[in-house]
Amino acid sequence: MLFCFFIGSFFHAQTHRYIYELQLKMDSTEEEHQKFYMLLDINKDETKFYGRNLLTADSLNKKFGNLDHKHVDMTGQVIKRKKGSFNNENFINIKFGYYSYKTTDIINWKIENDIKKYNDFNLQKATADFGGRHWIAWFNKDIPFSEGPYKFHGLPGLIFEIQDDKNNYIYKLVINQNYSENFTTDDFLESNFGNKAVVITEQQKRKLLLDFYNDPFSFERANFLNSPDLNINIGGKQISNIEELNTQVKSLQEIIRKYNNPVEVNKAINYK
């Protein structure tokens, strides 16, 4: 199925979509990967990268004319950028809020001489250090896009495969689709199912994540202080007092510390 639309509609398309299988380790100490399908949309003026589940939820909302279907991205890899730019706009859910912040992410590639076959395509090897990891990429010069998954771009052709040398993150191109019109993502990328992204700085993002870690149930805690006899359901468990709530806080904090393996590991928050 790979590139089944490439010959017939490539030059007439307004949006070129490349779908990648992403295997990642939420916990770097585990052997197993979690699998996601990620979409790279290349438009005339900008590029977007996001999870297929966001698109699925949006499609269901449009089909039924409501906002009943929502999705929270778990990969931390929802971005868009202007064509040819290393300036990325990043999108993230933090508790009840949806935010965007900008980063400049220059990648200095070293193009190697190694060549390998992928179906009928010749791929060339390139390497780079980015985000605290060493990356090995395989790109194709015949597809005229200097693009790839997430923030990986700048090579003379489309990236088909890329992974870090510890195999924490593995991206593989599986299929492409072309659209005759510009594909809009306003309802699930620039806003998250009714929540328009609030613009913040990267430093503010780190503070919001730390604040959430320090007291992930701050809203519920305030309700308990105002109504001591209140019962709250958290993850299917009834919580009836502050002590039980504190137990849930510690449990969630352990999970946050355990699954703290972002693609840009040099920006991982040191939770204490």
- Got the DSSP string for 57-112? HHHHHHHHTSS------SSS-EEEEETT--EEEEEEEETTEEEEEEEE-----EEE
Verify that 107 and 228 share a domain, yes or no. Answer: no
Verify that 237 and 143 share a domain, yes or no. Answer: no
Residues in the chain predicted with pLDDT less than 50, given as ranges, are: 1, 4-5, 7-8
**How many domains in the chain?**
2
Q: Encode pLDDT of 234-266 as tens digits.
A: 888 889 888 999 999 999 999 999 999 999 999
> Of 144, 169, 199, which residue is a domain's last?
199
Using CB atoms within 10 Å of the CB of residue 269, give its burial: 0 to 12 exposed, 13 to 18 middle, 19+ buried: middle
Verify that 120 and 178 share a domain, yes or no. Answer: yes
Verify that 146 and 217 share a domain, yes or no. Answer: no
Verify that 141 and 41 share a domain, yes or no. Answer: yes
Q: Encode pLDDT of 106-143 as tens digits.
A: 999 999 999 999 988 999 999 999 999 999 999 999 99
Would you state the pLDDT for residue 14? 92
Verify that 89 and 170 share a domain, yes or no. Answer: yes
Residue 218's domain spans which residues? 202-267
The pTM assigned to this predicted structure is: 0.93
> Of 170, 199, 228, which residue is a domain's last?
199
Verify that 189 and 240 share a domain, yes or no. Answer: no
Verify that 118 and 207 share a domain, yes or no. Answer: no
